[in-house]
Each structure stands twice: as C-alpha cells, then as structure tokens.
Amino acid sequence: MLRNSTSVLKKSLKLAQRQPFSTTFIRSTTIKSIPDANDDTATGKYITTVTKPYTVTTYARPNLVITHGKGSHLYDLENRQYLDFYSGIAVTCLGHSNPEITNIINDQAGKLMHCSNLFYNLPAGELANKLVDKTKQSGGLHDAQRVFLCNSGTEANEAALKFARKYGKTISPNKTEIITFENSFHGRSMGALSVTPNPKYQQPFAPLIPGVQVATPEDINSVANLISKEKTCAVIIEPVQGEGGVTPISAEFLLQLRKLCSDNDVLLIYDEIQCGLGRTGKLWAHSYLPKEAHPDIVTIAKALGNGFPIGATMITEKVENALQVGDHGTTYGGNPLGSRIGSYVVDTISDDKFLEDVQHKSDLFVAGLNKIAEKYPENIDTVKGKGLLLGLQFNSSLDSGKVVAKCRENGLLVITAGMNVLRIVPALNIPEDVIAEGLAIIDASISQVLAD
C-alpha cells in the first residue's frame, strides 16, 4: 500500500507541476459540464490511495484535488478551471497567489519566520498597532487598545472567552457564565464549541464547559431573561451570522444588547472572524454601528492572513486590566511571517477606495442574485447578507447542497450555509467579469437541479 501510494503521489505531483495557467473564461453561453473525477483518474487514485486512507475523517469531500489558484480562479489535478465564489471560506480576500503577499512571504522567510513570544519582534508590534489604529479610523471599536495575536479563529475566540472569565472573576468568583446565540458558529475547540449551540457539533463531545446559555437573535427579552450581574461574564455574537445562514443582526438589537451588557457589567464579544476585514463593505461589520453598540472584544482571523493561518483578539484597556503575565499564551501567535502578511492585508483592506469597490461589487452581486430570485419565486425566498457575505435563501423545494454540486460540475465553486442557504463569500477583489460568469452558472445550475 505504501509503495503504491508513494508512486501515485509522485505522479500526481508531476501532473500538478505540468499544469499551465489557463486564461479561458467560462462564458454563460458555453457552460461546460465537468463531472467530479471518477476513481480511475489521477484524482481518484490520489484520493483513494494517498490521502484518504491516511487522513483523519472530518470532512465529506467530492473527488476534487485543488493544485493551484490565481486571483479568483482555482485549478485541479485534472487541469480543470473553476471560478471561486467561496475564497477558502472567506479567507483569500485578496485572491489566490497574490503577488504582493508572495513577495512579503519570500522576503520575511529570508529574515525571520519565528522567534517565539519570549522576545519581541518588529512585525507583530506593527500589526497590533495597525489593527488598533485602523479600527478606530474606520469607526469601529472606539476604545480599542490591545491585541493578542494567535493562529486561527477558534483560538481568537478561546482567548476572548478566557479574558472574559478572568474579567468576571475580578468582580466575583461566580461571574463565569457566557451567553451565546442560536445559529451561531464560533469554532470547534472545547471552549469555542461550548458557545456553538449546534447539537450536531456538540453532542458527540459533551460534556462541554458549563455555564453557557443560549439566547435568540433579535429577541432582547431572551437575553434579558438569562443575563445576570452576579453570574454572567460575557455575551458572544457574530454581527453577521455566517455558517448559521448568512444572517445580519440588526443595529437596533446590537444597541439593546450593548446596553444590557453595560447595565450588568458583562463583556460584549463580537466575533468578526467571517464578517470582518472589509467583508461587509467597511473594515468591520460593527463599523456601521454607533459607538453605543461597540463591543469590548473583537475576534479576527480568516482574511487576516489571506490563507496564512493567523488570528487576533482585540480588546479595550478595561479588559486588559483584568489580565496579567502568564494568563494566556501561544507558541506561534504573533510570528513575524504571519504578522507581516496581516499588516499588508489590513493596510490594503482599510483603504477607502478598496472598501468602496467591495460595496460596488456587492451591488453587482445583489442585483444579479435578485434577478435569479425573481426567476425562481417558487424556490427562492430571499437574497440575504451584507457586502460580499451573501446568500440565497432556498425553500424546501430546492436543496442548497444539490445546487452547490451542480455549480461545481458547471465550473463554479460555491458553498452552503445553515438553513438551506447558498453562501457566496468571494475574494474582495473579485473581477466583475468573474461575478457575471459565476452568477450565470448559479442560474443555469438551479434550473438544471429543478429539471433533474
């Protein structure tokens, strides 16, 4: 098995190296059907002999091996080209193989990639500074002050939950409870999973951390009934729920939530891991809100590294005052390589012109998606989301999973979200012609699924 899998791996790698960067666009009139590779192809052989038997079972994946990407296009082992409407789940915000980022990686890798947190390094300080400054300039967290750098969204949330527990304990030993919301997603580690109230994710790993309560978005009474000055230390919420169904939370609700938190001396955590960093057309989803609705902690990841794993937890001085040396730590967090990339991403995305362009592209998407929704009124309830975190809400007559599979066959990679939503989270710099081509593929794919 080992020898066989090694030779398949070598062949697959050679095949991947030979692949040219095709520039052919898939036009709406020439949508080519490209079914997933079968087990006899190089892809099938690679999956069945090299990767699947040696990989821990986590994801259900189609027969598709992605070998490289350029901008908003991806290429696979069979040399097929796909349009990318999911950007690695809201990660590659500046496109695949971004040349500036490649240069930064080359340059920094030749200087210093890692030196641990036992010493300071230059890029980490610069990134922390930049996140705080640009956040304030963007109308986000007005009293942002400090940043903890880590390696993923889950870790950013773990840090936020630990900081909140520590803050609560400075007031009372029992102030440890956390309120989260239905349909939210905050990660898969024991802490982050405990505030992700999805039975499918939680049940196999119960018991989780105690003292977590679940409220209903847009229902302030559901929070008021749970919150307590004596027991609650934090409320965590995504200003736009991503995995749960691409649902923006209203400014009115967030204002009420902030007030309730302040009245009870409870920290408010905004998880902007998916909806932050330009995704909604401003630097942060909460940059749209008045400062009376700002949180105490913002968690950040995904787009921050454009594919390099990095996360961050941004806090106010009030939260910082509860922390001391030794409370939290990480080996890789704030490494110079990730931090240099993060600085470039923050600089690029916080530019007003860049954000105007995100809004313009969002308008193009929304106009196109509305047309699709009007064409299939029996099957599509609504277009939802904000900026370039968008969704088509299907009703029970149309399965979002089937549409995703049909889009893939037609050369477009797009994903689902909870509640039967087709989720669109492209690169923030996606070209306009790719938007038009991808929308045409969604339209054709829906009609094919309905005809099947």
Ligand X SMILES: Cc1ncc(COP(=O)(O)O)c(C=O)c1O
Beta carbon nearer to ligand X, 273 or 372: 273
Identify the DSSP state of 31. Answer: P
Q: Are 153 and 171 in contact (CB under 8 A)?
A: no
Shortest approach of ligand X to residue 330 CB, angstroms?
Answer: 13
Shortest approach of ligand X to residue 219 CB, angstroms?
Answer: 20
State the angle between helix axes of 336-349 and 122-137 in degrees (0 to 180), rounded to the nearest 10: 20
CA 302/CA 314 separation, integer angstroms: 15
Shortest approach of ligand X to residue 207 CB, angstroms?
Answer: 21
Instruction: Give the tokens for residue 432.
Output: 């306009």
Instruction: Using DSSP, state whether 351 is helix, strand or coil.
Output: coil
Shortest approach of ligand X to residue 403 CB, angstroms?
Answer: 21
HSE on the CB side for 369, CA within 13 Å? 26
Beta carbon nearer to ligand X, 187 or 307: 187
User: CB within 8 A of 340, min separation 6: which ones?
Assistant: 104, 107, 108, 123, 127
Beta carbon nearer to ligand X, 185 or 332: 185
Shortest approach of ligand X to residue 238 CB, angstroms?
Answer: 5
Task: State the residue number with the nearest CB to ligand X.
Answer: 153
Shortest approach of ligand X to residue 98 CB, angstroms?
Answer: 19
Beta carbon nearer to ligand X, 234 or 440: 234
Q: How far is CA 203 from the centre of its chain?
A: 23
Tally Cβ neighbours within 10 Å of residue 327: 12
Vertex 372: Cα angle to 369 and 373 (nearest 5): 85
Tracing tokens 């080992």 back to the chain, one arrives at 2
User: CB within 8 A of 313, min separation 6: which ones?
Assistant: 147, 148, 150, 156, 157, 159, 160, 163, 297, 298, 299, 300
Beta carbon nearer to ligand X, 183 or 264: 183
Beta carbon nearer to ligand X, 16 or 285: 285
Give whole-number Cα distances, 72 to 34, 96, 155, 406, 412, in Å.
18, 7, 28, 19, 10
Tracing tokens 């299907």 back to the chain, one arrives at 394
CA 352/CA 138 separation, integer angstroms: 9
User: CB within 8 A of 111, min separation 6: which ones?
Assistant: 336
Beta carbon nearer to ligand X, 177 or 243: 243
Shortest approach of ligand X to residue 243 CB, angstroms?
Answer: 5
Beta carbon nearer to ligand X, 274 or 393: 274
Report the interface residues with ligand X, using CB under 6 A: 89, 152-154, 157, 185-187, 238, 242-243, 271, 273-274, 301
Shortest approach of ligand X to residue 168 CB, angstroms?
Answer: 21
Beta carbon nearer to ligand X, 177 or 271: 271
Beta carbon nearer to ligand X, 135 or 157: 157
Beta carbon nearer to ligand X, 59 or 120: 59
DSSP line for 192-219: HHHT---HHHHGGG-S--S-EEEE-TT-
Q: Are 168 and 323 in contact (CB under 8 A)?
A: no
Tally Cβ neighbours within 10 Å of residue 39: 11
Shortest approach of ligand X to residue 189 CB, angstroms?
Answer: 8
Shortest approach of ligand X to residue 292 CB, angstroms?
Answer: 23
Shortest approach of ligand X to residue 340 CB, angstroms?
Answer: 19
What are the contacts of 430-434 at 24+ separation with CB within 8 A?
430/72, 430/84, 430/85, 430/95, 430/361, 430/388, 431/71, 431/72, 432/361, 432/364, 433/25, 434/25, 434/71, 434/72, 434/73, 434/83, 434/84
